[in-house]
Every structure is written in structure tokens, then in C-alpha cells.
Structure 1
Amino acid sequence: MAHLQQTLARTPAGDAPKPQTGGLSPQRERLVKQLILERLDQSLEVTELARACALSRSHFSRAFKCSTGLSPQDWIRAQRIARAKLLIQHTDLSLTQISLECGFCDQAHFCHIFTRSEGINPFAWRCRVVKGL
């Protein structure tokens, strides 16, 4: 006990972990993530997500990033890429069909975002995954 008190006495007060504040409530975070995932194939506006949480756009964006570590747009993009990877791996859909299923405006945009995210284009990724099976 005395050792613990000595250790705490030597620890600067500023080093204590601070509770995270400013994020979305667990209910709002769950709600908005569910909304995003249900409508991943559609165009999603941050304003619409903020409205679903009854928050202003700027407050929602800050709170979402505080809760998830990513901006709403980055989180949506990551979910679209994750879904695309599942579709590439487990279906025979064309890359054009996959891009539309995942909410990208066209195949070129999908290929650009996928390559930027994964370091390889989706066609090459599909070849690598299929070869690995």
C-alpha cells in the first residue's frame, strides 16, 4: 500500500488518463453506424446523419471523429471498401456492379479509392484472393 502511494505521489497529475469527452453517446453512435451500413449503397450526406442524431453538422462531425477516430466520410469510405472486398472475394459480380453496390458513383472512382486504400487495384486484389483460395 505504501509503495502504491509513493508511486502515485511521483506520477505527475497531467499523466493520468483523461476520460474521453465530446464523443457521441453509445446510442447515437450505434444509430448512425446502423443508418450508414443500411444505406451504404446510397449517397449519404453528413447533414443527414447529423439530423438523425439531432445535432448540428459541425458538432456531429467532431463528436463522430472523437468516438470513432475517423471523420464520418472516412468511416463511410472504409465501410464501403470493406463491403467491396467481401463482394470481390465471395461473388462473381463485376467490378462495375460492386462499385454501385458499395455506393461509389462509378467504377473509376471505386478503383481509385480502393487502390489508394489497399495499395493495389481491385482487379489485381481479386486475382490475388482467388489465387490464394
Structure 2
Amino acid sequence: MAHSQQTVALAPASEPRKTSTGGLSPQRERLVKQLILERLGDSLEVTELASACSLSRSHFSRAFKCSTGLSPQDWIRTQRIARAKLLIQHTNHSLTQISLECGFCDQAHFCHIFTRSEGINPFAWRCQVMKNR
């Protein structure tokens, strides 16, 4: 996938946002989201993200959720599913390849998370997408 696509947030524009104070600054939010998207296929620790923002793990987690409406892990999971959906739609990669490229530890975990998120397993979702083309 082209690098320019990796640095664009894949979450919908209407992602939940809290209006209370105490969130990340816009610069820190941009920085951490870019870091996540650049390393989406890797194992990401909240401690690493917090360190990139020069914040403690707990302060970062609260501020991130305040800014985005999602915990860091939920936001990462959302981005991984969004990237997986793009790969399912636009490539012929196996679900195993897609799961690993999107940062899931294995295909079983990917299928579980995808099904919980989308209400349908990734194979069936691929079949639906291909049928609707």
C-alpha cells in the first residue's frame, strides 16, 4: 500500500469526540495518530505512544480518550479493521496475509475482532463486496 495512504487516518470523519477539557493538544494528537498509522502492522504499546507525547501512560490514555472518544487500543483496533477492509476490497491477499499486515497476531484473532466489529466474518464480508461489484 502506498505510504501516503498509510499516514491518512482511516477512521470516519464522524468519530466520537468529547468536548471536555484535558485532551491532547492538536499537535500531539496528530503526532500520535501518524505514529499509529505508520506502525499499524507492528505491535504498538500505549507506553510507546505516551513516550512520544512526553506523557505518562495513564495521563496519555485519559487525554487520548478525551480527545478522540476512544481508548488508544480501541482507536488502533478501528484503524486496523479499516485497513483490513481496504485490503480485502482492493487486493487478492489471503486473510492470513491481511491479518498480519494489519497488526493482528494471527488470522483467528483477526476474524474474531473483525466479526465483533462488523457483525460478519471477513470471508463473508469479502464475498458480499465481490458480489456487489
What TM-score, normalized by structure 1, do the two folds share? Answer: 0.86
Gaps of 5+ in 2: 1-18
Identity %: 89
Moved over 4 A (4+): none
CA distance in structure 2 between the aligned counterparts of 1:20 and 1:68, rounded to whole angstroms: 11
Gaps of 5+ in 1: 1-18
Q: 2:129 matched to which residue of 1? A: 129
Give the greater-gyration-radius structure (CA). 1
More helix by share: 1
Where in structure 2 are the equivalents of 1:9-48 lying within 5 Å? 20-48=20-48
Q: 1:93 matched to which residue of 2? A: 93
What TM-score, normalized by structure 2, do the two folds share? Answer: 0.86
Q: 2:75 matched to which residue of 1? A: 75
CA distance in structure 2 between the aligned counterparts of 1:128 and 1:66, rounded to whole angstroms: 36
Q: Give deviations 1:56-79, integer Å, cap 9, x for gaps.
A: 000000000000000000000000
Greater RCO structure (CA 8 Å; 6+ sep)? 2
Task: Name the Cα RMSD after superposition.
Answer: 0.7
Q: Which amino acid aligns with 2:59?
A: H
Shift of 1:20: 2.9
Task: Tell me if 1:64 matches 2:83.
Answer: no
